[in-house]
Chains A and B, each alone.
Chain A
Amino acid sequence: EVQLLESGGGLVQPGGSLRLSCAASGFTFSNYAMSWVRQAPGKGLEWISAFSGGGGSTHYADSVKGRFTISRDNSKNTLYLQMNSLRADDTAIYYCAKDRNTAMVGLFDYWGQGTLVTVSS
């Protein structure tokens, strides 16, 4: 059974940093691209970053480019999101999502339950 478990969320002050983790199990993690998607309070879903399986390619939404860094450790079956220079509008539930392909094809067949990040003073 595929499982994705996010952790690392919490309350952080504006300008602060946080690192999210997503522990994966039930599939060969290294073979699949992975993404982070967030949902701000009362809003819809926003894709923010993707990391390919195998090749090391990454993509970012403009809203987080230069502030957030996606990475993965295939030996630990874990996806990360390093978030720096956090702003109030980064407040959201952050989900990790598994892509259906090694390449970043943007088709998310499994999702975690999310971790809440609150940016506030």
Chain B
Amino acid sequence: EILLTQSPATLSLSPGERATLSCRASQSVISYLAWYQHKPGQGPRLLIYDASNRATGIPARFTGSGSGTDFTLTISSLEPEDFAVYYCQQRSNWPYTFGQGTKLEIK
């Protein structure tokens, strides 16, 4: 099973600031890495797939990068609605696995 480790666990920033979230895989997932945003009481929302492709309707301030074992989600200028938990997920190998999440909170 591929282990995904996200850092930091919690990120405290203010609206307008830049957020950088990391995800490291225990072995190469090539580019089969997605990012999801999750808010309480809702289902997760797909943001980025295959490392760097924005999903339909996702604003351009969300950017994904990386390949192999190291990946980054960057939010260029935080909006109030961006404060949530973010998960990375690999689909390179069964079973699909998620990272433990990064909580992005308002400073």
Give the A interface residue count (CB, 8 A). Answer: 25
A interface: dominant SS: strand
Contacts of A106 in B (CB 8 A): 32, 89, 91, 96
CB neighbours (8 Å) of A37 from chain B are 44
- Shortest distance from the beta carbon of A69 to any chain B beta carbon, whole Å: 16
B43 close to A44 (CB less than 8 A): no
Do B43 and A113 have beta carbons less than 8 Å apart? yes
A64 to B87, CA, bound (A): 22
Q: Are B46 and A108 in contact (CB under 8 A)?
A: yes
| B49 touches which of A45, A107, A112, A113 (Cβ 8 Å) | A107
The closest CB in chain A to the CB of B50 belongs to A107
- On chain B, the residues within 8 Å of A45 by CB distance are 36, 38, 44, 87, 89, 98, 101
- Provide the main secondary structure of the chain B interface: loop
Point out the residues of chain B lying under 8 angstroms from A112, CB to CB.
Answer: 43
Which parts of A35-53 form the interface with B (CB within 8 Å)?
Answer: 35, 37, 43-47, 50
Category for how many chain B residues contact A:
20 to 34
Residues of chain A contacted by B36 (CB below 8 angstroms): 45, 108
Inter-chain contacts of B45 with A (CB < 8 A): 111
Whether A113 touches B41, Cβ cut-off 8 Å, given contacts A47-B97, A107-B34, is: yes
Task: Kindly list chain B residues whose C-beta atoms are within 8 Å of the C-beta of A95.
Answer: 43-44
Asked if B98 contacts A97 (CB within 8 A), the reply is no
